[in-house]
Structure 1
Amino acid sequence: MPVHGLNARQWGLVAIVAAGPFVLAFLLGAAAPELLAPVLGTTLGGLSWLLATGLGILGGALFARILAALQRPRIQASPTLRLVGTLGGAGAVVGLCIVPAVVLLLAGPAWATHLDREQLPAPQGLRSLRSNAMDLLGQARRVIPHRLPLSQLLLPGPR
């Protein structure tokens, strides 16, 4: 049966499935405005949300096709087949399109933020704990020598 044979309730379900990621994107933007900066400011963030919306539309088209296939007389005659077909079709659409779309909606801004952060420079030379302690003690001795009498025993230097 062609897709145009669906009734209004079925088209409503298709519209809900297709618009789900798009609506979720608006809800995420309203609930967490800090997510919008990486999405609108970076190519990766914007593409992830655009791809998520496309997956939602693809899921809606797939669901419409599944609902049209469930309109066969043999399936319509059995309530059990109708229920199993509807739940199986919805599960396939959710698993193949909606879940990946939601993952893209959430992961896109995180990826964009992570890639935009500058990497911390690697330390030039790693020194031992003892050499760091001795260096700090030497600096303290130069600043306040009268308060650190033991530092003269530990560090050689001008007296």
Structure 2
Amino acid sequence: MVRLEGRQWGLVAMVAGTPFVVAFLLAAASPGLVEPVLGTALGGASWLLAALLGLLGGAVFAGGLSGLSQAPGFHTSPIRRVFGLIGATLVPMGLCIVPALCLLLAGPALALRLERGEAVLPHAAQERFQSPRELAQRLRQQLPRVLPSLPQVNPW
């Protein structure tokens, strides 16, 4: 990795610090959100994983930025610099930062639902079928009528 300039390290710090900043903003906006994070292992683990994903996103961004610094014409063309920075930012944002932000939001909500004893999955997803035959009949009823007639399900 090529040595980055000071302002480039500032960009790397901004990308890596995004989950930290969002976590502090969430805690300031709703202090009740901090209790499930600090009080449960699941909430704390989700925020810790979000922080690690942020650091990983910063490292990926630094690698992309160093690759751009070696490219010919990167420093001379402002248009190439802008598009290069946008391209180098999209990869860590899509792979690391957006999932980290989802973890910041979903972790405490899931921890609260588990703490209250509520079902994590919707009721329809928890529904169990008694037999494979019942499942096959239910699926057959949901198929559109334009399909050719399906063979009957034979019991074993």
TM-score between the two structures when normalised by the length of structure 2: 0.70
Q: Which amino acid aligns with 1:82?
A: R
Corresponding residue for residue 111 of structure 1: 110
For 2:28 and 2:90, the matched residues in 1 are separated by 28
Aligned residue pair count: 118
Deviates more, 1:74-83 or 1:10-19: 74-83
1:22 equivalent in alignment to 2:20: yes
Q: Which amino acid aligns with 2:51?
A: T
Q: Which amino acid aligns with 1:99?
A: V
For 2:23 and 2:111, the matched residues in 1 are separated by 16
For 2:118 and 2:54, the matched residues in 1 are separated by 35
Q: Which amino acid aligns with 2:40?
A: T
Moved over 4 A (4+): none
Deviation, structure 1 residue 90: 0.5
For 1:59 and 1:75, the matched residues in 2 are separated by 26
| Rg comparison, structure with higher value | 1
Deviation, structure 1 residue 73: 4.3
For 1:98 and 1:75, the matched residues in 2 are separated by 29
Higher helix share: 1
TM-score between the two structures when normalised by the length of structure 1: 0.69
Deviation, structure 1 residue 75: 4.3
* Amino-acid identity (%): 57
For 2:13 and 2:118, the matched residues in 1 are separated by 43
Q: Which amino acid aligns with 1:25?
A: A
Residues 61-96 of structure 1 deviation map (CA, whole Å, 9 limit, x = unaligned): 110000000011424254443322211111111111
1:40 equivalent in alignment to 2:41: no
Unpaired runs of 5+ in structure 2? 120-156
Deviates more, 1:106-115 or 1:81-90: 81-90
